[in-house]
Amino acid sequence: MQVKSQDFVKKCSEELKKIKEIKMPEWAKYAKTGSHRKYPPHQEDWWYIRAASLLRRIALDGPVGVSRLRTFYGGRKERGHKPEKFRKAGGNAIRKILQQLQMAGLVEQSKQGRKGRVLTEKGKRFIAKMIEEIKNV
């Protein structure tokens, strides 16, 4: 069954806040998410929202690496009077979140085929639980 991505990310980010391995670093309050952004994220819990979104992307596209995720989260860079250009998102936040998800046991390095990260059994159960809770509301 399908659920709306916004509902999934919202519910999943609330649950990820409860996992002790996933924690927003101090520098993340001041860091932009890419060179195409003018300002850092305004939401105080953006780290957990991005982590939930990354978990969803891995479930849909996995195995997926940092480079492909940087492209997915990238955007247009305003360059004054010159034409806008696409810029990839910054890789540091994505990499750190993936490492935290890996320490929490939700994702792991792919062992066969393409390089990247895939969901573990624990990660699949976590996502199934989120979907079930969203459907029951």
Q: Fill in the DSSP letter of residue 95.
A: H
The 3 state secondary structure assigned to the chain is CCCCHHHHHHHHHHHHCCCCCCCCCHHHHCCCCECCCCCCCCCCCHHHHHHHHHHHHHHHHCCECHHHHHHHHCEEEEECCEEEEEECECHHHHHHHHHHHHHCCCEEECCCCCCCEEECHHHHHHHHHHHHHHHHC
Average pLDDT of the segment spanning 16-37: 85
Q: What share of the chain has pLDDT > 90, as a percent?
A: 12
Q: Which domains does the chain have, with CATH numbers?
A: 5-24+48-74+93-136 (1.10.10.10)
Contact 104, 96 (CB under 8 A): no
pLDDT value for 1: 44
pLDDT value for 17: 87
- 123-137 per-position pLDDT tens digit: 889 888 888 888 887
